[in-house]
Chain A
Amino acid sequence: MKNMMEVQDLTFTYSGASEPSLKSISLPVEKNKVTALIGPSGCGKSTLLRGMNRIHDLYPGHQYEGVINLLDSDEKGYTDILGIKKEADLIRLRQRVGMIFQKPTPFPMTIFENIAYGLRLSGIKKRPDVQEIVEQSLRDAALWDEAKDRLDHDARGLSGGQQQRLCIARAIALKPEVILFDEPTSALDPISTLAIEEMISVLRKKYSICIVTHNMQQAARISDYTGFMYLGEMIEYDQTDTIFMTPSKKQTEDYISGRFG
């Protein structure tokens, strides 16, 4: 199976920091698979995720070394996204590599407009087209049945779990190839969490997914591959089953079995 993304020897230093936050990280993101990143707070997993669609670059001065390859849309080759310079190209990159954050971030507008807004910005303006994509995105995000009769309601009236699914629908509407999830369920109750997990397992068929999570059981449940990071390094990367049943590094085992001191 082709890799959708390939992080190679990535070293990343935040603007003004003396030490790099990521040290020579390598990681594949396989196509139509879920890759989970786990590790204690401050290990660099969110930093890595945010490098993968250059969202760090909303603020200037950060330093990248290494390569982050993204499979071209025609699947014939790879482009190093660290080479992207133009703002418009960065915006296009973030459409292809979408991101979902820990806290749901609905815009203060109707459910319908939350999705339609981005579509219009990206050039899709015909009402029937917009309507069709809004419905399909809500269906893919498993929110259609709950939202179809209240599309003109303010999105902030949805529950936390529903808001998060709306944000996912908003990302999906722009037809991304990769979706990055940064602790998407840590602010949600267990039932909403399961709904999101179920949705991720369905989304995997269409998209390649990379998820940062503090919930190790969640990583074990939903991912195909897991990377364990510690102090800015990728300690171990393997199939999820192997990581949770027979990890090869002691640091990994200490962390997943609650021995990290």
Chain B
Amino acid sequence: MNTGQHISHKFDEEVEAVTTSVLNMGGLVAQQIDNAVKALLTSDKAMAEAVIADDVKVNTFDVDIDDKCNRIIVMRQPTATDLRLIMAIIKTTTDLERMGDEAKRIARQAIDIAKRGALPEQFDSIEQMATRVKEMLNRSLDAFARKDVAEALEVIGLDKKVDKDYENLTRQQITYMMEDPRKIPAAIDLLWSSRALERIGDRSCNICEYVIYLVKGKDVRHIEIKDLKAQF
């Protein structure tokens, strides 16, 4: 991909400004997820409420970045790498905004669990999954910042493990629910949270796919990871 400077320095500045906004938004979303998971694991109601309240900041980034991209499209009519970057940014922003919503969902479960008082069985098992998902998001943002295809491919590869975590967790909780119906509300809270984490993993993969599209000019959505690795 082309990283040379434009004849118009202002164009370079505009692209840089919007790229920085995406990375800042990514940092905020990562923080939201981290706080939501902490609130969940420690039944910290105040922290969970803060996560819910701060979602508006994520939404503001979403709107602001879309606006910046609209301006660039109208004024610059970007082509080639520039066009792919703007497309990748618009799509990345949408995924980040949805991840922010997932963080909010986890925070809601945290409040429910804190109110109920009784923790779900094997509550700690969600921590491992959360750690993996946070790693995926952070590394997908790194891949975006560095336009790093190899890193993007590795992150996409990690999703299998997260899917496995989710599968195991679901199986465990079903067992507990069958053993004792009184555990069903807590188990469902946990399942909702793990589902949110699993989705965050999927959306981190999406970001990595946009990075590959940006750098290689090839749309790799809906392609199996093994076929993907064979291509690059």
Contact = CB atoms under 8 A, between A and B. Distances in A.
Contact of A258 (B6, B84, B218): B6
Nearest to A216: B79
A257 B78 CA distance: 7
A18 interface: no
B128 interface: no
A259 B1 CA distance: 13
A260 interface: yes
Given A257-B6, A258-B6, A258-B8, A246 B80 contact: yes
Nearest to B12: A259
A256 B80 contact: yes
A217 interface: yes
A227 to B, nearest CB: 16
B181 interface: no
A246 B80 CA distance: 5
Interface residues of A, number: 16
A222 to B, nearest CB: 15
B170 interface: no
B7 A261 contact: yes
B6 A253 contact: no
Contacts of A107: none
Which of B78, B80, B217, B218 is most buried by chain A, counting CB atoms within 10 A of its CB? B80
A254 B76 CA distance: 14
Given A217-B77, A245-B80, A253 B2 contact: yes
B23 interface: no
A245 B217 contact: yes
Given A216-B79, A250-B2, A260 B217 contact: no
Contacts of B217: 245-246
A103 B225 CA distance: 55
Interface in A217-261: 217, 220, 244-247, 250, 253-254, 256-261
Interface in A184-221: 216-217, 220
Main secondary structure of the interface of A (DSSP, over half): helix
Contacts of B11: 258
A245 B8 contact: no
A258 B7 contact: yes
A244 B79 CA distance: 6
A259 B2 contact: yes
B117 interface: no
A257 B8 contact: no
A217 B11 CA distance: 17
A261 B84 CA distance: 22
B81 interface: yes
Nearest to B87: A245
B215 to A, nearest CB: 11
B5 interface: yes
A256 B7 CA distance: 11
B82 A257 contact: yes
B2 to A, nearest CB: 5
Contacts of A247: 80
Nearest to B4: A259
Contacts of A261: 7
Contacts of B4: 254, 259
B84 A257 contact: no
A247 B1 CA distance: 10
B119 interface: no
The 5 tightest CB contacts between A and B, nearest first, are A246-B217, A256-B79, A253-B80, A259-B4, A253-B2
15 contacts: A216-B79, A217-B77, A244-B79, A244-B80, A246-B80, A246-B217, A253-B80, A254-B4, A257-B6, A257-B80, A257-B81, A258-B6, A258-B11, A258-B76, A259-B6
Given A257-B82, A259-B6, 18 more contacts: A216-B79, A217-B77, A244-B80, A245-B83, A246-B84, A246-B218, A253-B80, A256-B79, A257-B2, A257-B78, A257-B79, A257-B81, A258-B6, A258-B11, A258-B76, A259-B2, A259-B5, A260-B7
